[in-house]
Amino acid sequence: MIKENYGSDTLDTAILLLLGIILVGVSLYMLKNNVLKKNNLHQPSEHSIIRKFTRGEKSIFLFAGSIVSFITQITATGAGAMTLPILVKKCHCPPKHVAGTSVIFGVAISAVGTILHYNMGNVPIYLVLFLLIGSIPGVFLGVKLASKISPRKMIAAFSLIILVAAIFLINRGFGII
C-alpha cells in the first residue's frame, strides 16, 4: 500500500526507520536488563533447555514468533536480533542455547521467505552465493566463541553490535549517510 500510494523510496525509508527504531529498542533493553543490572546470568545445567513453559509463556512465544517473522520478512533483519531478548528473559537458558534456538527459528522462517522472495524474482543468485561462501568462516568462529565467552560479555557485545547497526539504518533512512 505504501509503495502504491507514496512510491518505492518512501517504502524503503519507512522500513529502514522502523527497523532502526526496533533494533535500538532491542539493544537498549538487552543492555539495561542483562548487562547493566547486577543480576547473575547464571549458567543452568545442560538439562535446563528441557523445561515446562506456562500457558502465558507459550502465548508470548507464539505472539513474538508472529511479529518477528513479519518484521524479518519485510526488513531482512535476522530473527536473532529480535528474539534474543525474549529468549534470554523468558527461558533463563545460557546464551549458547538461546543462540542455537534463534538460529533454528531463523532458518525455518527464512526458508519460507526465501521461497516467496525467489518466486517473486527478488533474489540475485550470484550475490547469495558470494554471501554464503563468505559466511562459512564466520559461522565456525561464532559458534566456537559463543561456547567460550561469558554470558554477560556476549550479550553486551551483541547489544552494542545491534545498536551500531540500528544507528546506521536510522541515518540511512533519513538520508544522512
pTM of the model: 0.53
| Look-up of cell digits 522502523 | 18
DSSP string, 88-129: HHHH---HHHHHHHHHHHHHHHHHHHHHHHHHTT---HHHHH
Taking the chain, what is the end-to-end CA distance rounded to the nearest angstrom?
A: 27
Residue 11: pLDDT band with limits 50, 70, 90: confident
Each residue's pLDDT tens digit, 83-94: 777 777 777 666
Domain residue ranges of the chain, discontinuous segments joined by +: 2-37+54-173
Each residue's pLDDT tens digit, 47-84: 455 567 788 878 877 887 777 777 666 666 666 666 77
